[in-house]
Structure 1
Amino acid sequence: MRKDHHEGPPLLEVEQLTKDYRRGVRANDDISLRVPAGQVFGLLGHNGAGKTTLLNQVIGLARPTRGSIRIDGADAVADPAMARRVCSMQPQAQAPLDGVTPRQAIELMARIRGARRQQARHRAAELIDALDLGSWADTLGDRLSGGVRRLTAFCMMAAEPGRLVMLDEPTNDVDPVRRRLLWGQIRALADLGCAVVLVTHNVVEAERAVERLAVLDQGRVVAQGTPAELRGDDGDRLRLEVVAPDAAAAEALASAPAVPASAPAVASGRRMVLTIDAVHAADALRWAQNERTAGRIEEFSVTPVSLEDVYIRLVGSGRPRDEQTEENGDASLVA
């Protein structure tokens, strides 16, 4: 059962953090957040929203323009070496595995982080089994798929984790079955007492793992709270989605919906999405079933309003910046 740790004292505390680059790019703008031990905290946002830049400042790879970062009460800006000792990070870039096997890489990283030889071997075997990597555990890294390399990088980070764990898009390239296993291991790190900061744009999957989250847009936090808090009034509403034979039919359904809606219908291609109050669920199902029987729609679903719906309402399509540019913006500001 998931424990609720969000009321505890913060292990990571970020206050009014701003990061400017010389070319006028503001990567982070007055960001404040707190993450206690035992919690999975999500950072959601489009590419270029400033998520990776924030992590780089926490771990001491970049220096804030202003604001503060404290890890377990200590000043991480003044002492970036301390931050790197306390933090374990899985970056978005693939780990270099050429010439070593996943098992060797995981054991080596555990030893570097201070584990004894036998402990490192046991932990590597445990993670390989938990993520179903046995078929590739002893295969050289240059022969591995992107998904297996990504999972190996997670295991390298988790083999002997620091008290603060930061994961930058850890599920990229990972197949659906092992993604579920990976989410379980992310949760397990929090249950061990780590504070986990998870960067992702996969809102649907993140909703199952995080206890609190912040939505970033153009470098600013536009919303923060538990998934239930962010849903707000939408928690009592449902999402009706239908697939029409063509885009024109979807537009026609959206322009004159036959079911009472609490927000304007949205058509995108062959799909039409409508938000309805729960009291109208039976009417919506009856209407959709009749439309499918008549051949006017091909399929439909009625589900609770998701965090993804809230996210889209908050940030829309966004105007992503090049986050790589942010990270490489001004060499004079890199710690």
Structure 2
Amino acid sequence: MSFDSLAIDVKDLTKIYPGAVRAVDGVSFTVQSGTVFGLLGPNGAGKSTIIKILTTLSRPGGGSVRVAGVDVVAEPGPARRMIGCVAQQSGVDPIATGRENLTLQGRLYGLGGRRLRTQVDDLLERFGLSEYADRPARACNGGMRRRLDVAMGLVHEPHVLFLDEPTTGLDPETRKELWAEIFGMAAVGITVVLSTHYLEEAEELADTLGILDRGKLVAMGTPAELKREMHGDALRVELVEPPGEARVRSALSCLEGVCDIVVAGSGLSARIDPGTATAPVVLAALESAGVRVVSLTLSPPTIDDVYSRHAGRLLCGMPEARR
């Protein structure tokens, strides 16, 4: 495929750390230009390692990686000029003004003169920072500093932008504003790689999702495709008290059309054949076993269900403390 259509091309990527820890184990995927690619996975899945390799901060143990048509191992310098990176921890200098932060970032990429001044002014306007452009960044609130972070990642007009947990800690309004900016980036041809623990954010923004677990790519597709692969509907039951997993499995394991039974405290989840006919049977079986039910809900598959199936643990839409 040509450079114009393919922004990222990863083949058989591996990374082994001391102690024979396979952080990345034979991962392959491609990302089309001008799309948003969401990278999901629990702590230790390999997300951070893959992003470090893609952004030339770490060398792979094997395989090949091309970003914006450039081999990141053979040509790290040219690759860095093709990418922007917004880390989870802010890179803003709190003492410098917004304008100074953007100008310094542009100079690091060799920009200067009228071109840089115009680019800085455009970004300040685009991200709603013009009013605060000449104030120290420390005087801005967290949402403004995060918008400045993203603007700094765009100052040299990269082909691919990496965003690591870009909306963590933002209020809902600022978060939606940043979502709109991400959509806008893709609309003008910038490829966005989004690493996030917010599942609803990944579903809303990403054209394609990749789910990692224990160093392997365990699922990849559009959100709609991944949900269609799930069998049946999601059943969630709130119980009066923790019943014990053995007791619940004994009551439900003999029922047709019920699978993926998970008991966690006083909560029960399972997958059942589509439609509502199986739900009353489940309810009757639990009551016969003396398991008292508070509520029962039935819903089509969600990205949470997809994640739980492939990565083995549910994030519930909340960010984990560290990776």
* Mapped pair 1:105 → 2:105: no
Superimposed CA distance per residue, residues 234-259 of structure 1 (whole angstroms, 9 cap, x where no aligned partner):
2x7332334344434999777646x9
CA change 1:139–1:272 in 2 (3 A) is farther
The Cα of 1:220 is off from its aligned counterpart by 1.4
For residues 52 and 259 of structure 2, the distance between their equivalents in structure 1, rounded to whole angstroms, comes to 39
Superimposed CA distance per residue, residues 150-190 of structure 1 (whole angstroms, 9 cap, x where no aligned partner):
34322322455401111111122122332222222212111
* Mapped pair 1:93 → 2:89: yes
CA change 1:111–1:302 in 2 (3 A) is farther
- State the number of aligned residues: 303
The Cα of 1:83 is off from its aligned counterpart by 1.0
Superposition CA RMSD, Å: 3.7
Partner residue, 2:75: 79
Residue number among 258, 282, 299 corresponding to 1:303 in the alignment: 299
- Retained in 2: the 8 A contact 1:102–1:137? yes
CA change 1:300–1:232 in 2 (3 A) is same
Superimposed CA distance per residue, residues 28-72 of structure 1 (whole angstroms, 9 cap, x where no aligned partner):
121111111111111111122111111111121111122111233
For residues 168 and 78 of structure 1, the distance between their equivalents in structure 2, rounded to whole angstroms, comes to 25
- Retained in 2: the 8 A contact 1:50–1:323? no
197-206 vs 296-305, which moves further: 296-305
TM-score w.r.t. length of structure 2: 0.78
- Retained in 2: the 8 A contact 1:150–1:173? no
For residues 56 and 190 of structure 2, the distance between their equivalents in structure 1, rounded to whole angstroms, comes to 19
- Retained in 2: the 8 A contact 1:37–1:194? yes
Identity of paired residues, percent? 34
- Residue 208 of structure 1 aligns to a residue whose secondary structure is helix
CA change 1:184–1:156 in 2 (3 A) is same
Amino acid at match of 1:197: V
Partner residue, 1:277: 273
Partner residue, 2:264: 268
- Retained in 1: the 8 A contact 2:8–2:68? yes
Partner residue, 1:237: 232
For residues 144 and 270 of structure 1, the distance between their equivalents in structure 2, rounded to whole angstroms, comes to 44
Partner residue, 1:329: none
For residues 229 and 111 of structure 1, the distance between their equivalents in structure 2, rounded to whole angstroms, comes to 43
Superimposed CA distance per residue, residues 299-322 of structure 1 (whole angstroms, 9 cap, x where no aligned partner):
55433211221211112139xxx9
Partner residue, 1:3: none
Show structure 2 runs of 5+ residues with no match: 315-320
Residue number among 167, 172, 178 corresponding to 1:171 in the alignment: 167
CA change 1:106–1:222 in 2 (3 A) is same
Show structure 1 runs of 5+ residues with no match: 1-7, 325-335
In the TM superposition, 1:190-269 aligns within 5 A as 190-234=186-230, 237-248=232-243, 256=251, 261-269=257-265
* Mapped pair 1:150 → 2:146: yes
For residues 246 and 316 of structure 1, the distance between their equivalents in structure 2, rounded to whole angstroms, comes to 24
The Cα of 1:281 is off from its aligned counterpart by 7.0
- Residue 263 of structure 1 aligns to a residue whose secondary structure is strand
TM-score w.r.t. length of structure 1: 0.75
Partner residue, 1:13: 9
CA change 1:54–1:262 in 2 (3 A) is same
The Cα of 1:12 is off from its aligned counterpart by 1.3
- Retained in 1: the 8 A contact 2:27–2:217? yes
